[in-house]
Structure 1
């Protein structure tokens, strides 16, 4: 039996979509957006996070991208509550102590608000509390790590978008759409 050609799908996951093809609670899933058989997500994004998800039929690639020992870097665009101080950026960059241990050093910088699709529903906005956009690059993947890191330094995450995994980005992929790559 011939082996199927390797497929790699870059999907720009919308907010509130489950990173699986079925859901017992009838929530939106990958099946609502991707009609390609035998591809599976290489890693996860929480339902309340958006952005790049890589799907493939190559088990080795899934392992390479998703297993923490492989240290594939991922960049997130993160909108947080409040004005972020240099001390908070330094703490995030050096690693913060979470309940499941110290995070590895991250690359963290302030960024201009990116041009994005509207989020449905929109983030909560408070009239007298500003927001800040951060670019955070990590090479580990603890559960809800970015959200827990920003909360730890006093800046709850309002919107989280995975922009990059390894060399792949969401550039040119509209939210809710995918691109098949070589």
Structure 2
């Protein structure tokens, strides 16, 4: 299952903005918050607010995975400026996965009170953009996912150890 640019970004930003800082998946230092508020049809992974972290995460079998390499939202000019210097790399089990460039899509975000991601709460419309990966569901077992992204002075990196559960029959 592949999500459209607007659906991917709107759903991801809503997911990322659904928790206060203490349990927010973007602020998470070790992966303990990666399962919070996950959708039933896709498993979202988070970047960071800058810097690098290592996270371990259990993922249900049969779920595709979606994650930003580096992303932002704002108006179309913000996105153009952000993407002009955006670069990123993704390695899944040591193999290169090419990030997709999402140049700017109108998205709807629903943000919870006290979330550290959007700086505001409630429902609002913005333009989302960035470099993204959408992976098909992974085979059961352990996988490594290395994500590095940069735009201007901002850089982010996450090393995930993903443990994918066997799908129930």
Please tell me the TM-score bracket, short chain as reference. 0.3 to 0.5
> Which structure: larger Rg?
1
TM-score in terms of structure 2 length: 0.33
TM-score in terms of structure 1 length: 0.32
